[in-house]
C-alpha cells in the first residue's frame, strides 16, 4: 500500500467510517502519493487532496465516464493492457464520447479543470489505486457505479499489480462473512445457488432434508409481504431495521402487521418494540466465533466472559431447531466451523486450530493451503480471462430536489458511533463527545434560512419529518445536508427514500430530497 503513486478515494470517508484503513492511506500520503478525492462533502481527505471532485450525489457514472473520456481523448490510456486484457473497448469509447467536459461539468457540478487534472494524475501514475465506499454503492445505480469505476481502472491498466487495483470499503463488521455463509435468498453458504441441483444435493446429504429450489424473498420483499398480510412470522437476529432501514414508516407498518415477530438483540431497539418475543443476545465478548473482514480475512472472536443471559445465539438457534423437530447439537462453535469447512470450498481449510496460530484469508480450500492474500479482481472471472468494459449511462438518483424539497440529504457515519448506536450510545465518554444527531448544513444555506449552529431544525421529505440540531459547517456544500443514523431520538431514516439498487437491494441512503425549516 505505501508505494502507491496516486490514490483515488471515491465516495468514502475513511477517517470517519474506517479509521484504521485511513491510517494505511495516510501512510501512502506521507510517502508522497498524490490524492484525488471524489466526494460531495469536504471530508478530512478532501481538504488535503490534490484534486477534490466535489460532485453532486447521484452523478458518479457521469463523473467516471467523463474521466475516461478525458483519458482517451488525450491518449493517456494503457493501450497494451486494453488490447491484451479487455473486451468491448470500442463500445466504451463510443459511449464515453457522449460525456464531453461541458456535459460532465453540468451533470456533476465539478469544474473542467479539476476533471482534467484528476484524469491526468490517475492515468500518469505508475501505480494507482482506487478505494471506494458506500458513497458508491448506496445509490439506486450502486452496482453500475462500481462498474463505472472498474472501467476507469481497466482503461489505465491499474489492476493486478501491487499497490494498484480497486478496494471497496463496507460498513458493518461482518458484512463479508454474512454474505459468505449464505443467509441469502438465492444462495446456500459459499455462494452456491439454490438453483444448482448439485449444490442442493451436497447440502441435502449433509443436512438430511430436501432443500427448496425456489429462490426465497429478499428482506425488503419479506417486509412488503408482511404489510400485505401474506407473511405471518419473522425471526430477526441482531438487526434493527426499524432504525437503520430507509423509509421507516413503511418498515414500522410491516413489523406491526406481521402476526408473530421474534427479535434477538442485546438491547431494546426500535425493532424490539414490535416484537412478540424478545430473546437476549450475547455480545461479542461473551462467545466464541469468527468474523471475516473486508479483505476476506477470517479471524477469531473469543469468549472473555460468560453470556449475561446464559446462552449465546449459536446455542439458541440450535435449541430452537431441535424443538421444531430438526435435531441439532454442537458442543462448541468450532464444530460449526468444521461443518462450514466441509460445505463451503472457500473455507475448506479453515479450522479453529489453525486460526489459533494466525488468521487466514479465503479462498483457503485445504488444510495445508496458506490462504490467499490478493485475489484477482472479479473483473477477470470470465471464462476467457478478459475483463469486459461496460457501457453505462448517467441516470441520477431516484429522487432529486424540487421546489418543495429543495435540498439533498446525504446520510452516513461519524467515527464515534456505530450503526443504530445501541452500543456506542451506552459508552459514557462517547456520549460526552457526540451526544446527539447534528444536521450539517453549509454556511450559505444556513444564512439563507437564518439558521445558526445549535438551532433545532426540521428535516422533511415526502415520507416524514425528523428534528435535530443544526451544525453550520463548510463540510457540507451549498444545497446538501448531512445526517447520521446513529440516534434513536432523531430517526433520520424516517426521511430517507425507498429507492434501491435493483441488483443488490442496497438502499439509496446517500441521496434524497428534503426541505429544511426552523
Partner 1 sequence: MSDRKLKVIINGIETLCDRDDTILKVAKKIGVKIPHLCNDKRLEPYGGCRLCIVKVKGVPRPLSACTTPVAENMEVTTDTDEIIRIRKTLVELLLSNHPNDCMRCERTGDCKLQNLSYEYGVDGSRFEGERWNLPIREDNPFITYEPNKCILCGRCVRICNEVVMAGTIDLVGRGFNSMPDTAFRKPRTLDNCEFCGQCVSTCPTGALTDRKARGKGRIYDLKKVKTTCSYCGTGCNFFLNVRNGRVVKVTSDTSAPVNQGNLCVKGRYGYDFIDHPDRIKTPLIKKNGKFVEATWDEALGLIADKFSSLMKKHGNESVGAFSSSRCTNEENFLLSKFVRTVFRSNNVDNCARV
For position 267 contacting partner 1 by CB under 8 A, the verdict is yes
Of 101 and 355, nearer to partner 1 (C-beta) is 355
* Shortest CB 71 distance to partner 1, Å: 31
Q: Residues 342, 358, 465, 517: which binds partner 1 (CB under 8 A)?
A: 358
Q: Stretches 91-99, 100-108, 168-176, 388-396: which one binds partner 1 (CB under 8 A)?
A: 168-176
Of 152 and 364, nearer to partner 1 (C-beta) is 364
Q: Map residues 14-33 to x or -, x wherever contact with partner 1 holds by CB under 8 A.
A: ---xxxxx-x--xx--x---
Of 218 and 369, nearer to partner 1 (C-beta) is 218
Residues 108, 111, 112, CA angle at the centre, nearest 5°?
A: 105
For position 2 contacting partner 1 by CB under 8 A, the verdict is no
Q: Map residues 415-444 to x or -, x wherever contact with partner 1 holds by CB under 8 A.
A: xxxxx--xxx-xxxxx-xxx----------
Interacting positions 89-128 with partner 1 (CB under 8 A): none
Q: Residues 94, 228, 308, 456: which binds partner 1 (CB under 8 A)?
A: 308
Give the contacts of 429 (CB within 8 A, at least 6 positions apart).
none
Of 267 and 380, nearer to partner 1 (C-beta) is 267
Q: Residues 174, 249, 345, 473: which binds partner 1 (CB under 8 A)?
A: 174
CA 447 vs. chain centroid, Å, equals 34
Query: Got the DSSP string for 210-277?
Result: PPP-S----HHHHHHHHHTT---EEEEES--HHHHSSSHHHHHHHHHHSSEEEEEESS--TTGGG-SE
Interacting positions 34-63 with partner 1 (CB under 8 A): none
Interacting positions 226-255 with partner 1 (CB under 8 A): 230-239, 241, 244-245
Interacting positions 128-167 with partner 1 (CB under 8 A): 134, 137-138
Q: How far apart are CA 214 and CA 230, in angstroms?
A: 17
Interacting positions 483-512 with partner 1 (CB under 8 A): 504-507, 509
Closest CA to 67 of 118, 136, 18: 118
CA 425, 45, 299, 31 torsion-angle sign: negative
For position 294 contacting partner 1 by CB under 8 A, the verdict is yes
Interacting positions 204-223 with partner 1 (CB under 8 A): 207-212, 214-219, 222
Q: Map residues 379-418 to x or -, x wherever contact with partner 1 holds by CB under 8 A.
A: ------------------------------------xxxx
Give the number of other CB atoms < 10 A from CB of residue 153: 24
* Shortest CB 254 distance to partner 1, Å: 12
Q: How far apart are CA 298 and CA 313, in angstroms?
A: 19
Give the contacts of 331 (CB within 8 A, at least 6 positions apart).
none
Size of the site for partner 1 (CB under 8 A): 142
Q: Residue 40 corresponds to which cell in the numbers above? A: 460531495
Strands 407-412 and 297-301: unpaired
Q: Stretches 100-108, 304-312, 386-394, 462-470: which one binds partner 1 (CB under 8 A)?
A: 304-312
Alpha-carbon distances of 137 from 191, 266, 334, rounded to whole Å:
20, 29, 34
Find out whether the peptide bond into 363 is cis, omega within 30 degrees of 0: yes
Amino acid at each position: 500500500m505505501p508505494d502507491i503513486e496516486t490514490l483515488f478515494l471515491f465516495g468514502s470517508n475513511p477517517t470517519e467510517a474506517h479509521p484504521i484503513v485511513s491510517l494505511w492511506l495516510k501512510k501512502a500520503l506521507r510517502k508522497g502519493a498524490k490524492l484525488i478525492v471524489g466526494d460531495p462533502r469536504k471530508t478530512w481527505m478532501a481538504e488535503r487532496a490534490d484534486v477534490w471532485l466535489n460532485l453532486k450525489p447521484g452523478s458518479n457514472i457521469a463523473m467516471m465516464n467523463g474521466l475516461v473520456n478525458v483519458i482517451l481523448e488525450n491518449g493517456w490510456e494503457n493501450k497494451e493492457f486494453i488490447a491484451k486484457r479487455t473486451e468491448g473497448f470500442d463500445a466504451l469509447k463510443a459511449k464515453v464520447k457522449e460525456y464531453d467536459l461541458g456535459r460532465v461539468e453540468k451533470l456533476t457540478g465539478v469544474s473542467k479543470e479539476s476533471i482534467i487534472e484528476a484524469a491526468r494524475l490517475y492515468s500518469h501514475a505508475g501505480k494507482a489505486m482506487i478505494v471506494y465506499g458506500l458513497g458508491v454503492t448506496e445509490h439506486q445505480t450502486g452496482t453500475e457505479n462500481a462498474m463505472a469505476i472498474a472501467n476507469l481502472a481497466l482503461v489505465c491498466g491499474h489492476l493486478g499489480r501491487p499497490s494498484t487495483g480497486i478496494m471497496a470499503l463496507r460498513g458493518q463488521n461482518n458484512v463479508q462473512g454474512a454474505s459468505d455463509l449464505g443467509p441469502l435468498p438465492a444462495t446456500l453458504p459459499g455462494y452456491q445457488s439454490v438453483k444448482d441441483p448439485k449444490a442442493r444435493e451436497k447440502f441435502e446429504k449433509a443436512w438430511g432434508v430436501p432443500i427448496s429450489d425456489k429462490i426465497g424473498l429478499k428482506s425488503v420483499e419479506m417486509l412488503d409481504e408482511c404489510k400485505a398480510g401474506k407473511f405471518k412470522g419473522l425471526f430477526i437476529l441482531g438487526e434493527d431495521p426499524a432504525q437503520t432501514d430507509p423509509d421507516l414508516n413503511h418498515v414500522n407498518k410491516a413489523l406491526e402487521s406481521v402476526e408473530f415477530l421474534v427479535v434477538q438483540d442485546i438491547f431494546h431497539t426500535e425493532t424490539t418494540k414490535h416484537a412478540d418475543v424478545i430473546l437476549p443476545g450475547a455480545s461479542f465478548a461473551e462467545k466464541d466465533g469468527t468474523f471475516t473482514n473486508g479483505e476476506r480475512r477470517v479471524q477469531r472472536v473469543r469468549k472473555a466472559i460468560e453470556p449475561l443471559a446464559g446462552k449465546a445465539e449459536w446455542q439458541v438457534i440450535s435449541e430452537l431447531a431441535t424443538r421444531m423437530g430438526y435435531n441439532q447439537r454442537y458442543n462448541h462453535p468450532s464444530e460449526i466451523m468444521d461443518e462450514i469447512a466441509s460445505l463451503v470450498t472457500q473455507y475448506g481449510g479453515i479450522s479453529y486450530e489453525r486460526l489459533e496460530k494466525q488468521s487466514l484469508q479465503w479462498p483457503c480450500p485445504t488444510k495445508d493451503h496458506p490462504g490467499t492474500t490478493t485475489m484477482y479482481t472479479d473483473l477477470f472471472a470470465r471464462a476467457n480471462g478478459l475483463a469486459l468494459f461496460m457501457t453505462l449511462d448517467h441516470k441520477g438518483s431516484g429522487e432529486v430536489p424540487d421546489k418543495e424539497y429543495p435540498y439533498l440529504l446525504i446520510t452516513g457515519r461519524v467515527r464515534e458511533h456505530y450503526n443504530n448506536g445501541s452500543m456506542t450510545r451506552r459508552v459514557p465518554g462517547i456520549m460526552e463527545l457526540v451526544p446527539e444527531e447534528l444536521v450539517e448544513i453549509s454556511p450559505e444555506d444556513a444564512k439563507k434560512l437564518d439558521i445558526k449552529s445549535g438551532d433545532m431544525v426540521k428535516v422533511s421529505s415526502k415520507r416524514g419529518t425528523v428534528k435535530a440540531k443544526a451544525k453550520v459547517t463548510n463540510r457540507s456544500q451549498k444545497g446538501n445536508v448531512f445526517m447520521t443514523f446513529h440516534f434513536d431520538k432523531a430517526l433520520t431514516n424516517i426521511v430517507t427514500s425507498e429507492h434501491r439498487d435493483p441488483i443488490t437491494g442496497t438502499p439509496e441512503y446517500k441521496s434524497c430530497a428534503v426541505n429544511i425549516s426552523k
